[in-house]
Structure 1
Amino acid sequence: MASPAAKFIFFLSLLTRLFLFAPSLCFLAAAADPVPAPWPHQFHSILFMNRSGKLEMIDLWYDWPKGRNFNIIQHQLGKLTYDLEWNNGTSFIYTLDQNRECKVLNFEVGILRPNWLDGATYLGRRYVDGFLCNLWEKVEFIWYYEDVVSRRPVSWVFLQSGAAAHVMTFEVGSVLEDQKWQAPLYCFQKTKKESLLLESVANVGSHGGLIRGPI
Structure 2
Amino acid sequence: MSPPPSPLAVLPLPLLLLLLLLSAVSPAAANAAGAGAPPPVPTPWPEQFHAVVFTNLTESGGRLQLIDLYYDWPGGRNLNLIRDQLSGDPLYDVEWTNGTSYFFDSGFCHSRLFPVGLLPPDWLAAGSVYLGREHVDGFDCHLWTKVDFVWYYEEVATGRPVRWNFFNGMQQHVMSFEVGGVLEDSKWQAPAYCFNGGDAGTANVDAVGVDSDAGRSGRVDVMNSLIRFAGAPAAAVAASFDQ
Q: What is the TM-score when the length of structure 1 is the normalising length? A: 0.78
1:143 to 148, 151, 159: 151
Give secondary structure in 2 for the equivalent of 1:31. Answer: coil
CA–CA separation in structure 2 for the residues paired with 1:35 and 1:194 = 43
Following TM superposition, by how much is the alpha carbon of 1:145 offset from its aligned partner in structure 2, in angstroms?
Answer: 0.1
1:195–1:172 distance in 2 versus 1, CA, 3 Å: closer
Q: Which letter maps to 2:68?
A: D
CA–CA separation in structure 2 for the residues paired with 1:196 and 1:75 = 22
Give secondary structure in 2 for the equivalent of 1:212. Answer: helix
- Alignment map for 1:67-78 (pairs within 5 Å): 67-78=76-87
Unpaired runs of at least 5, structure 1: 1-27
CA–CA separation in structure 2 for the residues paired with 1:43 and 1:192 = 33
Q: Which residue of 2 aligns with 1:34?
A: 40
2:122 to 115, 126, 136: 115
1:184 to 186, 191, 196: 191
Structure possessing the higher radius of gyration over alpha carbons: 1
1:173 to 180, 191, 201: 180
Q: Which residue of 2 aligns with 1:92?
A: 102
2:162 to 154, 159, 169: 154
Higher strand share: 1
Aligned-residue identity in percent: 51
Runs of 4+ in 1 over 4 A off after TM superposition: 191-195
Higher helix share: 2
CA–CA separation in structure 2 for the residues paired with 1:39 and 1:151 = 9
Larger deviation: 46-55 or 85-94? 46-55
Q: Which residue of 2 aligns with 1:14?
A: none
Q: What is the TM-score when the length of structure 2 is the normalising length? A: 0.69
- Note the alpha carbon deviations across 1:49-84, whole angstroms, 9 max, x for none: 001251000000000001100000000012410000
Q: Which residue of 2 aligns with 1:23?
A: none
Q: Which letter maps to 1:211?
A: I
1:205–1:195 distance in 2 versus 1, CA, 3 Å: closer
Does 1:211 pair with 2:218?
A: no
